[in-house]
A and B are shown apart, each in its own frame.
Chain A
Amino acid sequence: MTLATSSRPRATSRGPGASPRRRRYGPRLLPWLFLAPALIIFLYFKYIPMTKGVWLSFFKVQPFLGDEWVGLDNYRQVFTDESFRAAIGHTLYLAVMQTGGAMLIGFCLALLLEGKARTLWFVRSAAFLPVVSAIAVVGEVWRLLYFPAADGMLNGVLGWFGLGPQGFLDDPDSALWWVSVVGIWKHAPYDMMIILAGLAGIDRQLYEQAALDGASLRQRIRFVTLPALRPVVTILVTLACIRGLRIFTEVFVLTAGGPAGSTDVVMTRIYTLGFQSGDIGFASAASVLLFLVILTLTVCVTLYRRRKEI
């Protein structure tokens, strides 16, 4: 705003001879000019590739033979491909499980670790470690933990309690669940941090008053903490859902979609078809659909939030 006002006196100081065009467009153009460097970078590295991706989804892509227009064939294939449908199901399962699980555990951790003591600060940092470790490394470590024989690490622990060795990632019936456990382990501390920030914003007096009115711990959480955390929770849900739908690295490192395709998600499918089988058109179509789903979801959550918070 200061920019717009500062340009005005200069225009008038030039007297009646100053160009009226500058007076009309200058102030409006100027903010865009300042935004331009960022916009140009976005244009080059985001919007042009995205448009190109959408464009390619209508073609059989073969750069050196000339791309062949196939209309909506690639999209039709996405919907009819059985393994792709299964992958969509797995993705939704992971998105829901990981979002819910991470949020629940993150919330419990946040309640436990809220406070100003030095030791709590240390424990919080320690709990946050999974978030900052490289997911590829985390995946390899979990593969070791999940080794599906009696001498595997987790199976060794289960053995102490007399539980038989689990198949973990080797068992097509349970592999998806074990993948989601890794996701929850990785993401819960992040949710914890955001919720902690939300908790810090709650007026202490509300708790005291509730306690004076005889509210139990559970009632205090239900009627004071949770309503106050609503903005934090909606933000977390949006972010986690988007993250959940785009899930790739965890699955790729842990199972690459196996065994028997039981952990195949949309992104691993796109990767396999696009890069390993070389069908870029089909992979683009699937990516466009994934983008549309995420966009719709984001818009819905934003609208819902606006309505709730006004």
Chain B
Amino acid sequence: MPAPQRIIAGLALLLFATTACGSEPTSEATGLELWTRSTPASAEVYKKVIAAYTAKTGVKVTYVPIYENFENKIQEAAAARDLPDVVINDVSLLGTGLSQGLITPVDRAGIAGAGDTLDRAWNQARAADGKYYGVPFSTQAVATFIRKDWREKLGKDVPKTWAELDALARAFQDDDPDGNGKDDTYGMLVPASTERGYTAWWASSYLWQGGGDFLTESGGRFTPAIDQPRSVEAVKWMRKLFCEDKVVVPGALTLITDDAHPFFETGKAGVYLTGPWMMGRFDKSLGKDRYEVVPSPAGPGGQGVLGEGENIYLMAGSKLGAQQKQLAEFLISPEGQRIGMNTDQPNPVVRLPVNTTVDVVAERKDERWATIKKIYENDGRLFPQVPNWTPLRQQAAETLNSIFANCGADVQAELTKLAGSFRTELAKQKAG
């Protein structure tokens, strides 16, 4: 073959090869694909659950734990039209997933074992249209973590009201609770970065405790409540923590949760509003007897706290509909829930079981979980169930972060502006 012809033939082959690379992926051949938003430690627990599922049903599962940039990965997979079959994630995915058609509706009555699941847990899987787009897998409520040894050393009681909480935080800040003679402790740990809307996650509980809210619902339509007097007062109280009392750890406004935990573990901050999943880590790093987990001190509007959980989402485009459902059914069964609770180990992926036949206190033999359960049942609240909460959460986080950063800002004016953005977004989502 003459040289140019050989080159042409070679190029044709190369072209063919590259085209072949771009053809349809064949993930179905490997069985179900499951993604969870998990740290490496909790991924180990998921692996145990999946192993039990495969042993029972013979269905192979390709498990992909992702912690960093989980939302990106979902968007990338969606753009490539190659989503995993099942995703376990928090409630955030409900809105974005639904608005982009990434998740499929679930027939609650058709799920085996659904009768044994906690009725209120299903709320976290219910979308604005009243249908379910996921199966609840785990629930939880946030609680106030306090350095018990510090509190006892300073002779303070467990705070029951906002005023007492504030006073305790100030004492932690000023009265050298660790007794090292240095002014190096802070009152409250607040991960208030706008990333993933963290500011709004943290502030939501205090907003509800102050009697305020983001939105109010009536008959499926939402109106902003964030600019109403009680919300404004609650936000002013939160800003007081940052600006006047100055009990919040330095750098809080750009702090994400991962960077926040060490402040509590290493004895820098004494009060931390966070979720029960942190207990395993803090028991190890700090010691179980050095901190306590208590219900949030009551504000003028009660003790409402964020109480949501994780859902099992059956993703669109899957060719394994029956197996998707079967995996979900296993995950909410007593066996799936028990393995997920990882009882005598840290990092449970099932925090409070959704299955009513599984008793969290009996399984864990830890009174703190009874507290969490009580908080969830009495005071747990969900973010507003608008079609897609994520953009609203981001807007709320950005405004709140800005209010906490600018101590001279007019809170009412800022929140009125936020209410305006809420209205625009709600109109876009046809829910306003």
Partner of B193, one of A26, A34, A63, A258: A258
Question: How many positions in chain B have a CB within 8 Å of any CB in the partner chain?
Answer: 49
Q: Mark A236-273, 1 if CB is under 8 A from B, else 0.
A: 00000000000000000011111111100000000010
Stretch of B97-105, B304-312, B346-354, B355-363 at the chain-chain interface: B97-105
Q: Mark B88-117, 1 if CB is under 8 A from A, else 0.
A: 000000001001111000000000000000
Determine whether the beta carbon of B78 is less than 8 Å from that of A63: yes
Determine whether the beta carbon of A276 is less than 8 Å from that of B390: yes
Q: Mark A54-66, 1 if CB is under 8 A from B, else 0.
A: 0000000111110
Count CB-based A-B contacts (< 8 Å): 131
Question: Closest CB of chain A to B252's CB: distance in Å?
Answer: 8
- Of the listed residues B79, B250, B401, B402, the one surrounded by the most CB atoms of chain A closer than 10 A to its CB is B250
Partner of A275, one of B8, B69, B401: B69
Q: Mark B219-254, 1 if CB is under 8 A from A, else 0.
A: 000000000000000000000000000000011111
Partner of B401, one of A146, A260, A280: A260
The residue in chain B whose Cβ has the minimal distance to the Cβ of A41 is: B18
- Of the listed residues A33, A170, A260, A262, the one surrounded by the most CB atoms of chain B closer than 10 A to its CB is A260
Determine whether the beta carbon of B101 is less than 8 Å from that of A259: no
Question: How many positions in chain A have a CB within 8 Å of any CB in the partner chain?
Answer: 46
Interfacial chain A residues near B78, Cβ < 8 Å? 63-64
The residue in chain B whose Cβ has the minimal distance to the Cβ of A27 is: B4
Q: Is the interface of A mostly helix, strand, loop or mixed?
A: loop
A89 within 8 A of B: no
Determine whether the beta carbon of B406 is less than 8 Å from that of A260: yes
Determine whether the beta carbon of A30 is less than 8 Å from that of B4: yes
Determine whether the beta carbon of B402 is less than 8 Å from that of A275: no
Determine whether the beta carbon of A26 is less than 8 Å from that of B4: yes
The residue in chain B whose Cβ has the minimal distance to the Cβ of A6 is: B3
Determine whether the beta carbon of A148 is less than 8 Å from that of B100: no
Determine whether the beta carbon of A64 is less than 8 Å from that of B317: yes
| A272-B75 Cα distance, complex, nearest whole Å | 12
Interfacial chain B residues near A259, Cβ < 8 Å? 253-254, 401-402, 404-405
A231 within 8 A of B: no
Partner of B251, one of A34, A63, A148, A260: A148
B413 within 8 A of A: no
Interfacial chain B residues near A30, Cβ < 8 Å? 4, 7
Determine whether the beta carbon of A170 is less than 8 Å from that of B250: yes
Question: Closest CB of chain A to B1's CB: distance in Å?
Answer: 14
B residues at A contact (CB < 8 Å) = 4, 7-8, 11, 14-15, 18, 22, 69, 71-72, 75, 78-79, 81, 83, 96, 99-102, 182-184, 186, 193-197, 250-254, 256, 259, 316-317, 388, 390-391, 394, 398, 401-402, 404-406
